[in-house]
A and B are shown apart, each in its own frame.
Chain A
Amino acid sequence: MMGDARPLIDALRAPETVLSLDGTGWTDLISIARAESLIGSLAHRLADVAVPEQIQPVLKDAIQAADLARRQALWEADCAGRALAPLNCNTVLMKGTAYVAADLDAGVGRSIGDLDIMVARDQLTAVEELLLDAGWEWVKPDPYDDQYYRDHMHELPPLIHRERDRMIDVHHTILPLTAGPTPNAGAMLDYAVRLDSGLYVMAPADMLLHSIAHLFADGDLAGGLRNLWDIDRLVRQFAGADELFWMELGVRAKLHQLEPHLARALRLTARLYATPVSENLSGSTNMTDHFYIRRLLARDGWGRENRKFTRQAFYIRSHWLRMPPLMLTRHLWTKWRKA
């Protein structure tokens, strides 16, 4: 008991496995799912399962909360779209907002926090001005942080709307400029798909690759189970609808320098969520996959993160991946002095 996040993985992958849970097992599952921000996805996934009546209200709450999150995310996207209308640039929605705007399976029950958008890099200054005019404000008025974002990051420093209290991240590409791979942001914008609202989402392969880049190259895998669940849903939906998807995916992964990342993500999602994947792209099991899985499942039945050493290792790795060593030393030194 209380070992890792496996009960959540099992419930998402094979909903009928919850039928064997007792009361404590359910309470563990709910705590893990809330901690991993997957409670809404789980609740939808269990819609057709005979869930005990003691747990039905908890799942119903989660569905309603996700419905509201969806509505608020779409409204926030709409607000940003209107603020940026004078610019006539393509505004590409990203992550959760994109999934719900495009009505994808990955958006069903998904929790959505900030609004993430992507625009062409040469439009950044104009976008920034329009957003400031429309009521968004800087969250971090610290000059070092501000300059750091502008010089090295893939996004503007975060902005928050002063009335609605919602954050927006304005990206010009999908990975920090200091990271190893350099995805082709221009090609992503060119391929983006226009929605009825006039806003854009990335084309299927690019959307999946962004989710993958986000999981591996831009984080310490905290909250990775949700990210990997997005990946599972996207793969199933895109590959199921288009037999040429795998080919396209391979081509785009190469273009964006994300082939190893794609391979790893496909192996992990196949392993945890039993996602059907192309073996050509996933390659065969790698020794280090085991550490990723250990890290992804580091959550006990009380909802606590465990496996501190593993998590710490991935945290250090996340910085290592983002910056060359000398720069990392300088960065951590500056942050430490200011703390």
Chain B
Amino acid sequence: MAGLHHLYLTVGPARFRVASTWRQPLDQLAALYKDYPASQGGYADFTVRLEPEKPWRRYIRPSVHISGDFWLPDAAPLPLSQCLLAAEMGMNLQMALGWRRHLLLHASSVEKDGKALLMTGLSGSGKSTLSAMLAEKGWRFMGDEFALLNPDTGMVHSFPRLISLKNEAIAAMQAILPDSRFGPLLTGTPKGDIRHIIPPLDAVKRMADTAKPALLLFPRFGYDPVLRDMGKSEIFVRLTQASTNYVALGETGFQALTKFVDRVPTKAMDYQSGEQAEELIDSLWSQL
């Protein structure tokens, strides 16, 4: 059986060992995550595996099957040209299915003055792009995929992986960021075009710093700008759907989430441009 190349990677509180049949995804990870802490003496929370779907698919139309300590039976393989995406999905999968130290909210988060703004919503709501944009405007980027809520302290922990931009958002960010901050353009993925951005260095250096959740937004891109109140029960139910480990945490998850919904001001926010969103966010933030 073929040996595996591997590297270690630490993002926020999570330590990964990524093992792969091919060097390519690891070389890409090493370049994009070069400022992150690497091996912690060989210890890891999760192993991710990137292997050919069938042995001969290592060379012929190579396709990457994603698995690891935690896996899904029906995960579709990706072509080798999208191996960076496969690696990122593999790490996400470990977090989504295996992480228990925090309640995982499928949300982006940024911090200012020790307080966190969380943005959650369906794919296409713009939560990733907004967090990437705010990260260039004086906020500290904490993560674009998962916000980690500590059930004991109620604080949000940072999980600042590469920021994953999709389709139109790529051009929007290319207009304001240098090329050196971007990973390769991945075309024709199951989610369309994807390009990763390296978070600001400050976000990486301060990834152990926690923040108190101060505002939660449900952004929705493409509608006339407006802020709306939401009922607590609606917020609660939508957050249970936005959490990958709410059920797995049992009572702990329920306690953490009810406390969060009780304490954190929340709005639904419609917007049509980054400038509009920024204005709305600033107006809310100044009233906190």
* Chain A contact residues, CB within 8 Å of chain B: 2, 22-27, 30-31, 34-35, 52, 54-55, 57-58, 61, 64-65, 68, 71, 300, 302-304, 306, 308
Residues of chain A within 8 A (CB-CB) of B99 are: 61
Given A64-B100, A308-B1, A31-B43 contact (CB < 8 Å): no
Tell me whether B280 is interfacial, beta carbon within 8 Å. Answer: no
Number of B residues with CB within 8 Å of any CB on chain A? 26
Residues of chain B within 8 A (CB-CB) of A2 are: 3
Contact (Cβ within 8 A) B43 A35: no
Tell me whether B45 is interfacial, beta carbon within 8 Å. Answer: yes
Residue in A23, A24, A55, A302 whose Cβ sees the most chain B Cβ within 10 Å: A302
Q: How far is the CA of A217 from the CA of B249 in the complex (A)?
A: 36
Contact (Cβ within 8 A) B49 A302: yes
CB < 8 Å A-B pair total: 59
Minimum C-beta distance from B26 to chain A (A): 14
Q: Is the interface of A mostly helix, strand, loop or mixed?
A: helix
Contact (Cβ within 8 A) B100 A65: yes
Residues of chain A within 8 A (CB-CB) of B44 are: 27, 30
Minimum C-beta distance from B157 to chain A (A): 13
Tell me whether B69 is interfacial, beta carbon within 8 Å. Answer: yes
Given A27-B44, A61-B101, A34-B250 contact (CB < 8 Å): no
Minimum C-beta distance from B201 to chain A (A): 26
Contact (Cβ within 8 A) A23 B43: yes
Q: Which of A23, A35, A300, A303 contacts B40 (CB under 8 A)?
A: A23
Contact (Cβ within 8 A) A27 B43: yes
Q: Which of A34, A52, A65, A303 contacts B43 (CB under 8 A)?
A: A52
Contact (Cβ within 8 A) B49 A65: no
Chain B 1-15 interface mask (CB, 8 Å, partner A; 1/0):
101100000000000
Contact (Cβ within 8 A) A303 B69: yes
Instruction: Jot down 21 A-B pairs with beta carbons below 8 A, ordered by A.
Output: A23-B42, A23-B43, A24-B42, A25-B42, A26-B42, A27-B44, A27-B47, A30-B47, A35-B69, A61-B99, A61-B100, A61-B101, A64-B252, A68-B249, A68-B250, A302-B19, A302-B47, A303-B68, A303-B69, A304-B49, A306-B1
A302: nearest chain-B partner, CB-CB:
B19
Residues of chain B within 8 A (CB-CB) of A22 are: 41-42
B4: nearest chain-A partner, CB-CB:
A302
Q: How far is the CA of A31 from the CA of B45 in the complex (A)?
A: 9
Residues of chain B within 8 A (CB-CB) of A52 are: 43
Residues of chain B within 8 A (CB-CB) of A54 are: 40-41, 43
Minimum C-beta distance from B246 to chain A (A): 12
Q: How far is the CA of A302 from the CA of B45 in the complex (A)?
A: 13
A34: nearest chain-B partner, CB-CB:
B69
Tell me whether B171 is interfacial, beta carbon within 8 Å. Answer: no
Minimum C-beta distance from A2 to chain B (A): 8
Tell me whether B17 is interfacial, beta carbon within 8 Å. Answer: yes
Contact (Cβ within 8 A) A27 B17: yes
Q: How far is the CA of A303 from the CA of B68 in the complex (A)?
A: 7
B17: nearest chain-A partner, CB-CB:
A27
Given A303-B49, A304-B49, A306-B1, A30-B69 contact (CB < 8 Å): yes
Q: How far is the CA of A22 from the CA of B149 in the complex (A)?
A: 31
A55: nearest chain-B partner, CB-CB:
B43
Tell me whether B248 is interfacial, beta carbon within 8 Å. Answer: yes
Tell me whether B70 is interfacial, beta carbon within 8 Å. Answer: yes
Residues of chain B within 8 A (CB-CB) of A306 are: 1
Q: How far is the CA of A304 from the CA of B51 in the complex (A)?
A: 10
Q: How far is the CA of A25 from the CA of B49 in the complex (A)?
A: 17
Residues of chain A within 8 A (CB-CB) of B250 are: 68, 71
Contact (Cβ within 8 A) B42 A34: no
Contact (Cβ within 8 A) B45 A58: yes
Residues of chain B within 8 A (CB-CB) of A34 are: 69-70
Residues of chain B within 8 A (CB-CB) of A71 are: 250
Q: How far is the CA of A30 from the CA of B83 in the complex (A)?
A: 25
Residues of chain A within 8 A (CB-CB) of B98 are: 61
Chain B 72-99 interface mask (CB, 8 Å, partner A; 1/0):
0000000000000000000000000011
Residues of chain A within 8 A (CB-CB) of B42 are: 22-27
Given contacts A54-B40, A304-B49, 20 further A-B contacts (CB under 8 A): A23-B42, A23-B43, A25-B42, A27-B42, A27-B44, A27-B47, A30-B44, A52-B43, A55-B43, A57-B45, A61-B100, A61-B101, A64-B252, A65-B248, A68-B249, A302-B4, A302-B49, A303-B68, A306-B1, A308-B1
Given A22-B42, A23-B40, A57-B4 contact (CB < 8 Å): no
Residues of chain B within 8 A (CB-CB) of A31 are: 47, 69
Residues of chain A within 8 A (CB-CB) of B39 are: 23
Residues of chain B within 8 A (CB-CB) of A24 are: 42
Residues of chain A within 8 A (CB-CB) of B51 are: 304
Q: How far is the CA of A273 from the CA of B45 in the complex (A)?
A: 26
Q: How far is the CA of A27 from the CA of B9 in the complex (A)?
A: 13
